[in-house]
Structure 1
Amino acid sequence: MDLAGFVEQVVTGLGYELVDVEMSPRARLLRVLIDVPRGITVDDCATVSNQLTRVFEVENIDYDRLEVSSPGLDRPLKKAADFERFAGETIQLRTHLPLNNGNQRNFSGVLKGFADGKVLLAQDAGVLEIPLEEVEKARLVPQF
């Protein structure tokens, strides 16, 4: 069973966006990050948690603890739509392998968007085009 796909179906059915699903094998913690344009409240988390608990019981999905929360100010960026939506924001990004025949895997800069399967990241040296499949992890950098 594709747990992330299953959780996404339940979460989107309730009117929220699934940002991420993490399952820690040892602690058996299931962490679900949700979002909605107006922002997430405690009541939103409770609604999703209650629904997932009921569905997991019916589907016999085994876990010890369920945690539902907002993605926070340093929201992870996973999908192409995330990179389009947060264009203009400062991000940190790590690739699976070093890029451009160098040894650099960590990048930061202003997200310029997403085009032709590539994340566009503006840095002092110019705009980097990083293929989405090369992105290991990307997060917003909160500006205070």
Structure 2
Amino acid sequence: MTQTSALHDIAQQTVSGLGYDLVEIERSAGGLLRVTIDLPWVPGKEQFVNVEDCEKVTRQLQYALEVEGIDYKRLEVSSPGLDRPLRSQQDFERFAGEVVDITLKAPVGAAGAGQVAANRKKFRGELGPDGDGAWQVTWSDEPEPKPGQRVSRKKTPAPLQVLGFTLDELKEARLAPVVDFKGRKPRQTGES
């Protein structure tokens, strides 16, 4: 067993034993070992990892890594953050309806792609199920209006585009880091 697979097994056992999900393990230059954890998904109940959760996992993981003789200089345990990676079918089910960034392994073919450029691999849109374990992203290529910019009601919006994919076709998928700093929602049409 290689040290990398041993590391993954130890981290997986330790993290799941404490009641968390292991999202990602990353080794960086200089001996940094970065472990990302999340709370298990319960449909209809959104939970977030806090500092105490990270502390608890750090203490237990340090002990487990020392016992197993895994070499590292610094351990960092954190929550997945705003741009959480999506890897499993359960991740996609959990975040259906959210805005995601996906990167395909191969560019979209020209046939049947509609208005999508034939060499395009990256997409941002709303995630939704496409049936039989497949997924889709839906987006519009129309730019968002700038704050304070008036939008004509007569202007026809750009058509929505849809791309279907399977998890095997993905190189990477992450939640899109969409932040509303002011806490204000844009005015809806018809409001004064």
TM-score (norm 1): 0.89
Is the CA contact (8 Å cut-off) linking 1:32 and 1:69 kept in structure 2?
yes
Pairwise CA distance, 1:135: 1.2
Is the CA contact (8 Å cut-off) linking 1:49 and 1:66 kept in structure 2?
yes
Is the CA contact (8 Å cut-off) linking 2:38 and 2:79 kept in structure 1?
yes
User: Secondary structure, in 3 states, of the residue corresponding to 2:13?
Assistant: helix
Equivalent-residue separation in structure 2 for 1:123 and 1:100 (angstroms)? 18
Aligned partner of 2:32 in structure 1 is: 29
Confirm whether residue 120 of structure 1 aligns to residue 124 of structure 2.
Answer: no
Confirm whether residue 91 of structure 1 aligns to residue 100 of structure 2.
Answer: yes
The worse-fitting range, judged by mean Cα deviation, of 38-47 and 125-134 is 125-134
Q: Sequence identity, in percent?
A: 46
The worse-fitting range, judged by mean Cα deviation, of 113-122 and 82-91 is 113-122
Pairwise CA distance, 1:69: 0.4
Aligned partner of 2:185 in structure 1 is: none
Residues 40-51 of structure 1: matches in 2 within 5 Å? 40-51=49-60
Is the CA contact (8 Å cut-off) linking 2:101 and 2:124 kept in structure 1?
yes
Pairwise CA distance, 1:115: 4.5
| Aligned-residue CA RMSD (Å) | 1.8
Confirm whether residue 5 of structure 1 aligns to residue 9 of structure 2.
Answer: yes
1:91-133 deviations in whole A, cap 9, x for unaligned?
Answer: 1111122122421110110000374343321234443221212
Is the CA contact (8 Å cut-off) linking 2:138 and 2:162 kept in structure 1?
yes
Equivalent-residue separation in structure 2 for 1:22 and 1:121 (angstroms)? 28
Equivalent-residue separation in structure 1 for 2:38 and 2:84 (angstroms)? 10
**Runs ≥4 residues deviating over 6 A:** none
Equivalent-residue separation in structure 1 for 2:130 and 2:55 (angstroms)? 33
Distance 1:115 1:9, change over 3 A: farther
Is the CA contact (8 Å cut-off) linking 1:22 and 1:31 kept in structure 2?
yes
Confirm whether residue 72 of structure 1 aligns to residue 88 of structure 2.
Answer: no
Equivalent-residue separation in structure 1 for 2:30 and 2:58 (angstroms)? 18
Q: Which amino acid aligns with 1:103?
A: N
Aligned partner of 2:62 in structure 1 is: 53
Pairwise CA distance, 1:34: 0.8
Unaligned runs of 5+ in 2: 40-45, 111-117, 141-159, 181-192
Equivalent in 176, 179, 186 of residue 141 of structure 1: 176
User: Secondary structure, in 3 states, of the residue corresponding to 1:27?
Assistant: helix
Is the CA contact (8 Å cut-off) linking 1:80 and 1:114 kept in structure 2?
no
User: Secondary structure, in 3 states, of the residue corresponding to 1:110?
Assistant: strand
Pairwise CA distance, 1:81: 0.8
Pairwise CA distance, 1:84: 0.8
TM-score (norm 2): 0.68
Is the CA contact (8 Å cut-off) linking 2:10 and 2:65 kept in structure 1?
no
Pairwise CA distance, 1:73: 1.5
Equivalent-residue separation in structure 2 for 1:68 and 1:142 (angstroms)? 20
Unaligned runs of 5+ in 1: none
Larger radius of gyration: 2
Pairwise CA distance, 1:142: 3.2
